[in-house]
Amino acid sequence: MPTKASQNGETSKMKKYGYIETDPKMPWCGEYCSDTYSMYTESGDILVDGIVEVAKGTNADWPWASAKLEMLGKTEGFEEATDTQVREAVFDAIGYDNDTPFYI
């Protein structure tokens, strides 16, 4: 499994969407840390990536993608799907331009 160096040279175990922090000096030691969509779990990042890939593949508009995040956010364990940081990451990953209104 690939590793990522932390601030003090310790390594973290990399995953496709983030990593498990292994540095005992870091506050999130032992926890999943997203590098992609800012979800709290790798499962959450995988589900959000599915929304992104479908939106890109079908040229879906932002209201469609935002509605899917709302639906996911109503699912127990994935409530953070509606957090601004997650929505911004999805908006950017899909590639909407500055003319697309973010707040709908």
pTM given for the model: 0.83
Query: What's the Cα-to-Cα distance from 59 to each of 8, 70, 96, rounded to whole Å?
Result: 43, 19, 10
For residue 2, pLDDT beyond 80: no
For residue 85, pLDDT beyond 80: yes
CA distance from start to end of the chain: 40
pLDDT > 90 fraction of the chain, expressed in percent and rounded: 77
72 touches 19 (CB < 8 A):
no
pLDDT computed for residue 74 by the predictor: 98
- Count other Cβ atoms within 10 Å, centred on residue 71: 13
pLDDT computed for residue 28 by the predictor: 87
Phi first, then psi, for residue 96 (nearest 5°) are -65, 150
The DSSP element (H or E) to which 57 belongs, if any, is helix 42-58
Higher pLDDT, 10 or 26: 26
Q: Where are the domains of the chain?
A: 3-34, 42-94
